[in-house]
């Protein structure tokens, strides 16, 4: 579990000392209760509740923990948020309940009224007693989840009464997540396993050049914002505009790609005597209308062909195919599972063709030089830099057993 989560747990234990004695009852309407409330939000403003406007929030030092209590610490509410995909060891409502049980030393648990909470699903509720050291109280805990996070919202006092239930229900009815969080959240659900790191490694150089995260499937958060950007990028760079053109382009990359044109061009040069020419650059200039720089490029490519054969640049096509699948996911042309399944299919086809990451990436670099008609030195330097890092995906064994983990 991350240190940050442990910090939250410590805060939860400490703050319980503040939330003790019960309050009196009084018949009021929901609207009257709401009129006496104001909005309190997590420090990163990702989620909020309406609570008694006379209460004050505690400075917890944690983005995912909100503590709000009355001025004498006799009654209060805690909202605990665990963002999904954030590396925490919380992946279900049951995990959240276990976390609360362990933090508050809950006892005498019983099912309670389930409130309707906007935007939240799988909502459940319990009434229980909570303990922190020698101090105990009564609590009403509501659990639920959104696309963005898991939540536990706890109302604590010394002696529970119906007014507190009503107040808590009104507060929960005003739960909200910020629009910026909803729009910017990562919808990816798959955990980062070694198989997915293998996929990421195959195109980590371009991911790094783009300023993205090579330890995230697709390299960047999958959300509405990136979806629109990727749709535009795929149209500009690949001519992909929908699912049909996406499938067609991927099929071309896997079955033909630039390696087919490369092999045909080099085979033609071989046929007309390039291999026997004493001065290959002069041979090119004498037989084709090219600049000296273009002739140098063809001499370089023919050398690749001689040394590595017709598939000298196959790694370029295969790495790009894997990258394309991740782009299709970001653009919404493939679902997450479709993209991961297709990535696994391609990776299992590619893996036996190469001996190591160095072998695959060298083939990729040769393909880049053929496609871009420029040196791959800068990209090679990026590759070497990534390899040296502690979080490098190239630490994954190239010959590992690739398997479905999502």
**pTM for the whole thing?**
0.61
Cβ–Cβ under 8 Å, residues 174 and 38: no
In this structure, the number of other CB atoms found within 10 A of the CB of residue 178 comes to 16
Q: Are residues 142 and 215 in the same domain?
A: no
Query: End of a domain among 160, 184, 208?
Result: 184
Residue 189 domain-assigned (yes or no): no
Residue 198 makes CB contacts below 8 A (sequence gap 6+) with 347, 393, 396, 398, 400, 402
The 3-state secondary structure of 63-103 reads CCEEEEECCCCCEEEEEEEEECCCCCCCCCHHHHHHHHHHH
Q: In this structure, what CATH number is given to the domain that contains residue 141?
A: 3.40.1000.10
Closest to 346 in 3D by CA, of 251, 278, 273: 251
**Which pLDDT does position 61 carry in this prediction?**
86
Flag residues of the chain having pLDDT under 50. 1-25, 87
Q: Are residues 139 and 213 in the same domain?
A: no
Q: Round to whole Å and give the CA distance between 198 and 402.
A: 8
Q: Round to whole Å and give the CA distance between 286 and 266.
A: 17
Fill in the DSSP letter of residue 42: -
Tens of pLDDT, residues 165-223: 999 999 999 999 987 776 677 888 899 999 999 999 999 999 999 889 999 999 988 98
Q: Are residues 203 and 352 in the same domain?
A: yes
Residue 367 domain-assigned (yes or no): yes
**Which pLDDT does position 15 carry in this prediction?**
46
Element (H, E) at 397: none
Tens of pLDDT, residues 320-373: 999 999 999 999 999 999 999 999 999 999 999 999 999 999 999 999 999 999
Cβ–Cβ under 8 Å, residues 333 and 342: no
Closest to 334 in 3D by CA, of 256, 177, 254, 217: 217
**Which pLDDT does position 27 carry in this prediction?**
76
Q: Residue 203 — φ and ψ, nearest 5°? A: -130, 25
Q: What is the number of structural domains in the chain?
A: 2
Q: Round to whole Å and give the CA distance between 213 and 215.
A: 5
Query: End of a domain among 184, 217, 236?
Result: 184
CA gyration radius for the chain?
Answer: 29
């Amino acid at each position: 579990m991350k240190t940050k989560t442990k910090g939250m747990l410590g805060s939860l234990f400490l703050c319980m000392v503040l939330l003790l004695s019960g309050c009196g009852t009084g018949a009021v309407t929901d609207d009257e209760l709401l009129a006496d409330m104001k909005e309190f939000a997590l420090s990163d403003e990702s989620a909020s509740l309406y609570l008694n406007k006379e209460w004050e929030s505690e400075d917890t030092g944690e983005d995912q923990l909100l503590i709000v209590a009355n001025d004498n610490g006799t009654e209060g509410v805690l909202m605990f948020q665990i963002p999904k995909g954030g590396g925490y060891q919380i992946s279900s409502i049951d995990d959240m309940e276990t976390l609360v049980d362990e933090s508050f030393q809950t006892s005498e648990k019983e099912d309670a009224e389930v409130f309707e909470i906007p935007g939240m699903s799988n909502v459940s509720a319990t009434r229980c007693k909570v303990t922190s050291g020698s101090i105990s109280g009564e609590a009403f805990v509501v659990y639920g989840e959104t696309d963005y996070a898991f939540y536990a919202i706890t109302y604590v006092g010394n002696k529970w009464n119906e007014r507190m239930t009503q107040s808590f229900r009104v507060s929960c009815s005003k739960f909200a997540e910020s629009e910026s969080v909803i729009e910017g959240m990562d919808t990816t659900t798959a955990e980062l396993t070694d198989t997915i790191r293998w996929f990421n490694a195959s195109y980590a150089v371009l991911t790094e050049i783009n300023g993205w995260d090579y330890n995230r499937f697709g390299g960047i958060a999958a959300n509405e914002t990136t979806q629109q950007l990727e749709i535009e990028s795929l149209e500009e760079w690949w001519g992909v505009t929908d699912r049909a053109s996406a499938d067609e382009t991927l099929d071309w990359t896997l079955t033909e790609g630039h390696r087919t044109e490369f092999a045909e061009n080099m085979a033609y040069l071989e046929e007309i005597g390039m291999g026997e020419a004493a001065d290959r650059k002069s041979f090119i200039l004498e037989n084709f209308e090219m600049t000296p720089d273009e002739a140098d490029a063809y001499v370089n490519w023919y050398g690749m062909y001689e040394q590595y054969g017709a598939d000298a640049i196959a790694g370029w096509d295969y790495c790009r195919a894997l990258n394309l699948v991740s782009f299709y996911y970001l653009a919404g042309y493939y679902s997450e599972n479709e993209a991961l399944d297709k990535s696994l299919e391609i990776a299992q086809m590619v893996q036996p063709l190469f001996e190591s990451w160095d072998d695959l990436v060298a083939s990729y670099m040769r393909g880049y030089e053929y496609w871009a008609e420029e040196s791959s030195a800068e990209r090679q330097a990026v590759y070497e830099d990534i390899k040296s890092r502690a979080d490098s995906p190239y630490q994954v064994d190239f010959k590992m057993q690739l398997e479905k983990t999502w």
